[in-house]
Chains A and B, each alone.
Chain A
Amino acid sequence: MCLGVPGKIVEINDVNGLKMAKVDFGGIFREACLDYVPEAKVGEYCVIHVGFAISLLSEKEALETLDLLKQISNIEEELGPDRTAA
């Protein structure tokens, strides 16, 4: 139930009463409905599922997550793989 793919909004239009965006999935473009994420702006990324934006991706959270995980991985580098859990 979950094939949601990040896509970047490049254009927003009103089509038949729906707020529709042209979304860039990395060179492939498709339209998606923004009615559920009305605050999304051009240049922002959303999770797109079956032609609908269901969530606005937070750059801040994304970077924090990556930082956190890098720290976890760096611990591994510093200690080396032989280190047993304390």
Chain B
Amino acid sequence: MKYVTEYRDAALVKGVIEEIRRTVTRTWTIMEICGGQTHAIVRHGIDQLLPKEIELVHGPGCPVCVTPLELIDKALAIAARPEVIFCSYGDMLRVPGSARDLFSIKAQGGDVRVVYSPLDAVNLAQANPDKQVVFFAIGFETTAPPNVMSVLQAQRLGLKNYSILVSHVCVPPAIQAILSSPANRVQGFLLAGHVCAVMGYWEYPSLSEKFRVPMAVTGFEPLDIVQGILTTVRLLEDGRVEVANAYPRAVTLEGNRPAQAAISKVFMACDRKWRGIGTIPMSGWCLRPAFDEFNAEKRFEVESITADESPLCIAGQILQGLKKPHDCTAFGKECTTEHPLGATMVSSEGACAAYYRYGRVEMNQSMQS
């Protein structure tokens, strides 16, 4: 596959890792803030091949993991209604609410459907005028343009039975929160390549300078990831506080203007609660009042239910990069991919799920013996 296979070339990947080894003179802690990158790193075992001086920590880059519990419960309540066709991206189905998940709602007769694209949900609304179609609009900035287009398209088509339940989160406030934490050890950042494809990377130099942390826009194939790490390491070794673009084939400084325009038209910034972390001010997007008719939270009266997360679950600390999955006493025992306790194990991009599936359980066991 063009633009994929070349970036998996084993010889090139090894060559770049060797260059990292040659460049590094001391330890560095680097965070990647995209669930897709976590997945790629663990799947290809890239962290195994890096010199031990480089520690990779995983940030809260999984929109599924950080969707607040209260919102999941609202989604479940809406999906259970007989007049609703509830559409969602696949990985949300497994995320546990206080007591149940979308799978359980489906099992009890709720019409829950996996869609690949939000436009599929709009098509469903058009085809089922006597039903209410609700789309679970989660994601970071990458997924916002598709999600807002579904609203604009529904508006254009004059649909009265389409609405979205929004849980959008933004990367820069998250980075700000992580770097502001007194416990922070992150010295360099790999920025999420596709978030930057949409938003550009002009938002990051001020963050980089404020906290003196170099950053590299990074892609998703093994070669992209090691290139991002090399770029960051070089900046760190040279003491340069900059934002570099290690994914230039897909990302430009200004990003995708039409996409940004659509986002501003439909969404506005708001405070957002991040599961396991807490509320980060102005870190989310919600629908502007002009689009209230497409706002599922306004269309359906659903009561919030607050519930406690499992006391064993340290997803919050993992999401902030303060702990690793195998630091958790429940990892691999009470908490596995079959019976997850928290969001980072449920979502296929969550750090815990990635570690569990790609087998870091042994590390846990050997450390405990």
> For residue A58, which residue of chain B has the nearest CB?
B249
Closest 6 CB pairs of A and B: A73-B15, A51-B117, A1-B140, A2-B36, A6-B3, A55-B197
CA–CA, A75 and B22, complex, Å: 11
Do A2 and B2 touch (CB < 8 A)?
A: no
B219–chain A nearest beta-carbon distance, Å:
9
Q: Which residues of A contact B (CB under 8 A)?
A: 1-6, 8, 16-18, 25-26, 30, 32-33, 35-38, 45, 47, 49-52, 54-55, 57-59, 61-62, 64-66, 69-70, 72-77, 81, 83-85
Chain A hits for B22, CB < 8 A: 83-85
Chain A hits for B230, CB < 8 A: 72
Known contacts: A2-B35, A8-B2, A58-B248. The answer to whether A52 contacts B15 by CB under 8 A is no
CA–CA, A18 and B150, complex, Å: 11
In the complex, per-residue mask of B281-322: 1 if CB is within 8 Å of any chain A CB, else 0: 000000000000000000000000000000000000000000
A1: contacting residue among B18, B34, B119, B156, CB under 8 A = B34
Interface size on B, residues (CB 8 A): 58
- The stretch of B97-105, B141-149, B330-338, B358-366 in contact with A is B141-149
Do B262 and A36 touch (CB < 8 A)?
A: yes
B153: contacting residue among A17, A32, A75, CB under 8 A = A17
Label chain A's interface by main secondary structure: mixed
Q: Is B277 an interface residue (CB 8 A)?
A: no
Q: Which residues of B contact A (CB under 8 A)?
A: 1-4, 6, 11-12, 14-16, 18-19, 21-23, 25, 34-37, 61-63, 89, 116-120, 139-143, 145-146, 149, 153, 156-157, 192-195, 197-198, 220, 223, 227, 230, 248-251, 256, 258-259, 262
Chain A hits for B141, CB < 8 A: 1
B31–chain A nearest beta-carbon distance, Å:
15
